[in-house]
Amino acid sequence: MSSVHPVPAEWAANAKINAERYESMYAAAANDPDAFWRKEAMRLDWMTPFTKIKNTSFHEADFGIKWFEDGALNVAANCIDRHLAERGDAVAILWEGDSPGEDRRITYRELHEEVCRLANALKANGVRKGDRVTIYLPMIPEAAFSMLACARVGAIHSVVFGGFSPDSLSGRIQDCDSTLVITADEGLRGGKKVPLKANVDEALAQCSSVSRVLVVRRTGGDILMKDGRDVWYHEAVAKASAECPAEAMSAEDPLFILYTSGSTGKPKGVLHTSGGYLVWASMTHEYVFDYRPGDIFWCAADVGWVTGHTYVVYGALANGATTLMYEGVPNHPDFSRFWQIVDKYEVDIFYGAPTAIRALMREGEEWVKKTSRKSLRLLGSVGEPINPEAWEWYYRVVGDERCPIVDTYWQTETGACMMTPLPGAHALKPGAASKPMFGVKPVIVDAEGKVLEGPTDGNLCITDSWPGQMRTVWGDHERFFQTYFTTYPGKYFTGDGCRRDEDGYYWITGRVDDVINVSGHRMGTAEVESALVAHAKVAEAAVVGYPHDIKGQGIYAYVTLNANETESAEVRAELVKWVRQEIGPIATPDVIHFAPGLPKTRSGKIMRRILRKIAEGDTSNLGDISTLADPSVVESLVTSRSVPA
């Protein structure tokens, strides 16, 4: 399937960015970044105007990334206050609850009041500029209020996805020494309750830094409130004043930390700062989605991930948009839910993940076709490569062959979209991340770092900084440099493989490191391995990804049990449960393959290349196994392989 969809005539004529404008703006950003970004940064309100613009180097000798460094602004004021005069009564947040019928509409004026009250409540509970606040909430408006209230007082938020376990939460709280946690009694997803407060209680047993927990009442479920530590959110904000001046923040002051998995070690705290991030979030939100005032914009990601930060909250609100926040899941109460929500609110732009599209595709067209969807103008995809079959279904069935699809490639580290087709500028090729955003200079390099020209295949690097780039790993600047700038010195290495075709379109081919992408969520194989080996019955474990119809990649774990243990279905179930408890449900192994031994080199290094091939079922050509300490191990793994249907 290699169809190309040309730019529809109406889009070429009316879009903010057409082909010509794309070329000229791309060239302008590349040739004179200071001039380009001076102009783009004027989309924000600055408290102190900047005079310096780009001050960046990827080289060891003078390594550093700063944008607009002498300017000052407040991110929350940019997302709220400046819209009040003209759009005070416009809806900022449309909230759709887990069950149909439960909803809320929050205008910009109401958002201002909610955020000011909470900001004052944070201050009353000891939060000061630069302090860290951990947010562990479901997809409810209070999640956005919390992020913005932190931004208003200059506190650094760290949102932890509600699907993470108490252990994972505790690690993330300890890593950045949060002093306050905002959570809810329980979350609600697909009719199921998530014990958020109980998880916080368990996590805090291991954290000494936290002195306050604000608790949103969401379900009214029975929870423990610890005297002197836990405070009801609604009581705290009721007591607080609705006036709260926004703190002037340097452009390079931190805005948030977001933990993400890498190929080694524990998750890293990716740090984003204020000015550059917001310019980047706002600019991409406008151009990529061809956003127009009045549009109803729905990004279906959870705020626990960067997509939710940038497009549910910051980019959308910076542009004065109406952003839709949905608490639930695509299949509750049935498989029509997404499209019923589209009809209910007359959504113009829908931005979702391929894994959801594939899951809905499996259920058939009827669920989609019985809804109207005539309000939709544009569709987006994010988080993982979208296979052409799912792309065509999304285009034909959901978009009625009327809505372009922007397949946006980016990362937690990049802050916002790095590559995507623009709907008025680029013919669409299903599965292609297509073209770089303004200011993004991609190169494809070979294993030795040689830059490859023309149509080619290799590893994706970016040669120069863009405003929304992460600035450091929280507490470990050396790890930041080591992780991203030493594999190919002088370049930012994405960790992704990439192909460039004869039209100069980029195609992301997937991670080339030990990171796997499960349902659009990043998982370090090393993290799952360390959870497994922490189990008393496990001697050794190796985890790889394998192709999964719905999730994109599934988690395939090779496990060697201790000598006195017996392999059984019970032990398998016990290990799956264990990993869910250790990391969270998103790390649930799909396959546990008991392995009496793992293929290792004579120096003891596990040959992951072979394990990957066996997991993929591609055992006809395992390559050179002569360097293995015991080649017979491979034979036994091949014959014992079993992947559930």
Q: Is 487 annotated as a binding residue?
A: no
Instruction: Between 250 and 517, name the residue whose CB sits nearer to ligand WT7.
Output: 517
Q: Cα–Cα distance between 78 and 230 in angstroms, integer? A: 31
Q: Is 533 annotated as a binding residue?
A: yes
- Residues 161-200 interacting with ligand WT7 (rule: CB under 6 A): none
What is the DSSP secondary structure assignment for residue 190, as one 8-state letter? Answer: T
Reference 112, options 70, 74, 79; nearest CA is 79
| Residue 407 sits in the site that holds ligand WT7 (CB under 6 A) | yes
442-445 and 268-273 as β-strands: parallel, antiparallel, unpaired?
A: unpaired
**β-pair partners for 351:** 299, 380
Q: How far is the CB of 387 from ligand WT7 (least distance, A)?
A: 11
Q: Is 522 annotated as a binding residue?
A: yes
Q: Is 285 annotated as a binding residue?
A: no
- If you compute the radius of gyration of the chain from its CA atoms, what whole number of angstroms results? 24
Count of H-run helices and E-run strands, the chain: 22, 31
Instruction: Between 120 and 307, name the residue whose CB sits nearer to ligand WT7.
Output: 307
Instruction: Between 305 and 505, name the residue whose CB sits nearer to ligand WT7.
Output: 305
Q: How far is the CB of 109 from ligand WT7 (least distance, A)?
A: 31
296-299 and 322-326 as β-strands: parallel, antiparallel, unpaired?
A: parallel
- Contact status, residue 241 vs residue 118, Cβ threshold 8 Å: no
Q: Cα–Cα distance between 452 and 446 in angstroms, integer? A: 7
Q: Cα–Cα distance between 143 and 256 in angstroms, integer? A: 14
Q: Is 384 annotated as a binding residue?
A: yes
Q: How far is the CB of 301 from ligand WT7 (least distance, A)?
A: 7
Q: Is 212 annotated as a binding residue?
A: no
Q: Is 235 annotated as a binding residue?
A: no
Q: What separation in angstroms does the CA of 165 have from each of 133, 159, 218, 576?
A: 18, 14, 19, 14
Residue nearest to ligand WT7 (CB): 412
Phi, psi of 112 (to 5 degrees): -60, -45
Q: How far is the CB of 290 from ligand WT7 (least distance, A)?
A: 18
Q: Is 57 annotated as a binding residue?
A: no
User: Could you tell me which stretch among 136-144, 165-173, 202-210, 377-385 binds ligand WT7 (CB under 6 A)?
Assistant: 377-385
Each residue 490-529 as x (binds ligand WT7 by CB under 6 A) or -, in order, gives ----xxx-----------x--x-----x----x-------
- Contact status, residue 540 vs residue 529, Cβ threshold 8 Å: no
**Contact pick of 29, 306, 317, 559 for ligand WT7 (by CB under 6 A):** 306
Reference 439, options 7, 39, 13; nearest CA is 39
Strands (DSSP E) found in 2-63: 54-57
Q: Is 511 annotated as a binding residue?
A: yes
Instruction: Between 57 and 411, name the residue whose CB sits nearer to ligand WT7.
Output: 411
Q: How far is the CB of 381 from ligand WT7 (least distance, A)?
A: 6
Q: Is 266 annotated as a binding residue?
A: no
Q: How far is the CB of 584 from ligand WT7 (least distance, A)?
A: 14
| Residue 409 sits in the site that holds ligand WT7 (CB under 6 A) | yes
Reference 351, options 387, 317, 324, 390; nearest CA is 324
| Residue 404 sits in the site that holds ligand WT7 (CB under 6 A) | no
**Contact pick of 174, 264, 411, 636 for ligand WT7 (by CB under 6 A):** 411
Tokens of 430: 């299903």
Count of residues that bind ligand WT7 according to CB under 6 A: 22
| Residue 384 sits in the site that holds ligand WT7 (CB under 6 A) | yes
| Residue 313 sits in the site that holds ligand WT7 (CB under 6 A) | no
Residue 643: Cβ within 10 Å count: 15
Each residue 248-287 as x (binds ligand WT7 by CB under 6 A) or -, in order, gives ------------x---------------------------
Provide, for the chain, the percentages of residues in helix, strand and coil under a 3-state DSSP scheme, each rounded to the nearest 5.
35, 25, 40
| Residue 37 sits in the site that holds ligand WT7 (CB under 6 A) | no
Q: Cα–Cα distance between 229 and 227 in angstroms, integer? A: 5
Q: Cα–Cα distance between 218 and 350 in angstroms, integer? A: 26
Give the three-class secondary structure for 232.
strand
Q: Is 479 annotated as a binding residue?
A: no
User: Could you tell me which stretch among 40-48, 111-119, 124-132, 403-411 binds ligand WT7 (CB under 6 A)?
Assistant: 403-411
User: Could you tell me which stretch among 212-220, 277-285, 299-307, 316-324 binds ligand WT7 (CB under 6 A)?
Assistant: 299-307
List of residues 6+ apart from 490 with CB closer than 8 A: 58, 59, 463
Q: Is 580 annotated as a binding residue?
A: yes
Q: Cα–Cα distance between 631 and 306 in angstroms, integer? A: 43
Each residue 423-462 as x (binds ligand WT7 by CB under 6 A) or -, in order, gives ----------x-----------------------------
Q: Cα–Cα distance between 300 and 472 in angstroms, integer? A: 28
Q: Cα–Cα distance between 194 and 221 in angstroms, integer? A: 10
Q: Is 39 annotated as a binding residue?
A: no
Residue 100: Cβ within 10 Å count: 15
| Residue 160 sits in the site that holds ligand WT7 (CB under 6 A) | no
Q: Cα–Cα distance between 450 and 463 in angstroms, integer? A: 13
Instruction: Between 323 and 494, name the residue whose CB sits nearer to ligand WT7.
Output: 494
Instruction: Between 305 and 594, name the residue whose CB sits nearer to ligand WT7.
Output: 305
Q: How far is the CB of 134 from ligand WT7 (least distance, A)?
A: 19
Instruction: Between 284 and 340, name the residue whose CB sits nearer to ligand WT7.
Output: 284
| Residue 410 sits in the site that holds ligand WT7 (CB under 6 A) | yes
Instruction: Between 411 and 456, name the residue whose CB sits nearer to ligand WT7.
Output: 411
Q: How far is the CB of 552 from ligand WT7 (least distance, A)?
A: 9
Q: Cα–Cα distance between 126 and 131 in angstroms, integer? A: 9
Assign 3-class secondary structure to 126-188: CCCCCCEEEEECCCCHHHHHHHHHHHHHCCEEEECCCCCCHHHHHHHHHHHCCCEEEEECCEE
User: Could you tell me which stretch among 203-211, 231-239, 389-397, 488-496 binds ligand WT7 (CB under 6 A)?
Assistant: 488-496
Instruction: Between 166 and 352, name the residue whose CB sits nearer to ligand WT7.
Output: 352
Q: Virtual CA dihedral for 182, 188, 189, 193, nearest 10 degrees?
A: 110
Q: Is 585 annotated as a binding residue?
A: no
Instruction: Between 439 and 495, name the residue whose CB sits nearer to ligand WT7.
Output: 495
- Contact status, residue 539 vs residue 558, Cβ threshold 8 Å: no
Q: Is 400 annotated as a binding residue?
A: no
**β-pair partners for 516:** 523
212-216 and 230-232 as β-strands: parallel, antiparallel, unpaired?
A: parallel
Count CA within 13 A, CB hemisphere, residue 112. 21
Instruction: Between 492 and 556, name the residue whose CB sits nearer to ligand WT7.
Output: 492
User: Could you tell me which stretch among 19-27, 406-414, 435-443, 608-616 binds ligand WT7 (CB under 6 A)?
Assistant: 406-414
Instruction: Between 267 and 330, name the residue whose CB sits nearer to ligand WT7.
Output: 267
Which residues make up each annotated binding site for Mg(2+)? 533, 535, 538
Which residues form the interface with ligand WT7 (CB under 6 A)? 260, 305-307, 382-385, 407-412, 433, 494-496, 508, 511, 517, 522
Which residues make up each annotated binding site? 189-192, 307, 331, 383-385, 496, 511, 519, 522, 533, 535, 538, 580
